[in-house]
Amino acid sequence: MIAVFESTHKLIFELCGWPYGTPVHAASYWAFRVGTCRGLYTASKEEYQIIAIENDRMGNGHLTDVLEWFDNSCRRDGKSLRVCAIWNKKFKKHLLKKRGFVQAADEADDVIKRF
């Protein structure tokens, strides 16, 4: 029997390749959408890295679904989850206080969650 993951609001994780070509440092980037949230991420052997995320309708809970999808994938794949280059101090505080992230030791603007 295959275990099926279902997020809080029963939203699907939509994915496509980053449409603007491969960056100079040759990482693979993927665009994603979960409900009204969309963003960009990449992966290494050790972690998934969320590079950008935005919610077109704040307060609807879809960020919860995004993080649930990434948490599920991290557990499945044995990786950590990093949110990179956070400029919004309120969002960073939210991730640190309410979502189980800690300050990344190697980057002042990054937070990480280990599984």
The residues spanned by each domain of the chain are: 14-113
- β-bridge mates for residue 37, sequence order: 34, 55
* From the candidate CATH numbers 3.40.630.40, 3.40.50.1370, 3.40.50.300, 3.40.630.30, the one assigned to the domain spanning 14-113: 3.40.630.30
Per-residue confidence at 24, pLDDT binned at 50, 70, 90? low
- Which pTM does this prediction carry? 0.88
pLDDT at 81 over 70: yes
Average pLDDT over residues 67-81: 97
pLDDT at 3 over 90: no
Residue 96: CB partners within 8 Å, gap ≥ 6?
Answer: 102, 103, 111
pLDDT at 26 over 90: no
Average pLDDT over residues 63-92: 96
Average pLDDT over residues 68-97: 96
What is the predicted pLDDT for the residue at 92?
Answer: 97
Average pLDDT over residues 1-10: 83
